[in-house]
Amino acid sequence: MSQATLDIITSDSLAPVRHGFFSRRGGASSGIFAGLNCGQGSSDQSQAVSMNRARVAGAMGLDPDALIGLHQVHSPDVITVTEPLPEKPKADGMVTNVPGLALSVLAADCQPVLFADAEAGVIGAAHAGWRGALGGVLESTVAAMEALGANRANIAAVIGPSISQRAYEVGPEFFEDFMVEDPEYARFFANGESDRMMFDLPGFGLYRLRQAGVGSAEWTRHCTYSDPERFFSFRRTTHAGEADYGRMISCIRL
């Protein structure tokens, strides 16, 4: 995969706020990381990752140091950003009302979620795998936006490319973790083979966002697992026995 044109998925719901869910296309990485791997925690060449992140920053109309990221830990923790950060704090969501900062999250099956209240000038970004979504990272992001003056009824939330239900097989312990929280969550599981079940991660994310009272919530309907040409996937990499995997970036800025 060469220095092809970047492939940026956007949503009308977030307009006119500048944003993008970047696929793996374009970029400087090669081998299993081919394309736009933006994961500094991967074993990819750091120079290639830096070049990729610089391309993303350029596409967002910013210098690379204005591309704010997190040390993602599958938590419900959210930080408020007012300036470029010298190092990445451990958290999975962030919000700002400061123009010129791009909030970014990395994902490779987990949900990247971008938020905007364009009227109030407040934005957010969250990394929501099953653990973070169950733990409340989406609701925490909405609450942190409210603290900056957003109105949750005016917040648009968009889930980017994520693993879809047909590709997300889980075991009985996983199912039990959800049933302990709320038996109603059974609706997000379908029967698989033997004791396996198929989990609808984006469906669960949309449910939690709508329960939080945001004005609109949608999924771009791209499955990371099912499209290797366009997306990195942790689960696909695991199934293929590969040593590591690339991470895609999603960004939003005022």
pLDDT for position 243: 86
What average pLDDT does the segment 221-231 reach?
97
Domains: count for the chain: 1
Residue 214 lies in a domain: no
Residue 129 lies in a domain: yes
Mean pLDDT of the chain: 95
What average pLDDT does the segment 9-22 reach?
97
Residue 183 lies in a domain: no
* Residues of the domain holding 143: 8-149+157-162+219-253
pLDDT for position 62: 96
Residue 3 has pLDDT above 60, yes or no: no
Residue 137 has pLDDT above 90, yes or no: yes
Residue 202 lies in a domain: no
Task: Look at 160-164, 241-245, 246-250 and tell me which has the smallest mean pLDDT.
Answer: 241-245
Looking at residue 112, its amino acid is P
What average pLDDT does the segment 115-131 reach?
98
Residue 144 belongs to domain with CATH number: 3.60.140.10
What average pLDDT does the segment 189-203 reach?
96
Tens of pLDDT, residue by residue over 69-110, are 999 999 999 999 999 988 899 999 999 999 999 999 999 999
Residue 102 lies in a domain: yes
Tens of pLDDT, residue by residue over 173-184, are 999 999 999 999
pLDDT for position 4: 64
Binned at pLDDT 50, 70 and 90, residue 41 comes out as: confident
Residue 198 lies in a domain: no
Query: pTM for this one?
Result: 0.96
Residue 197 lies in a domain: no
pLDDT for position 127: 98
What average pLDDT does the segment 188-194 reach?
95
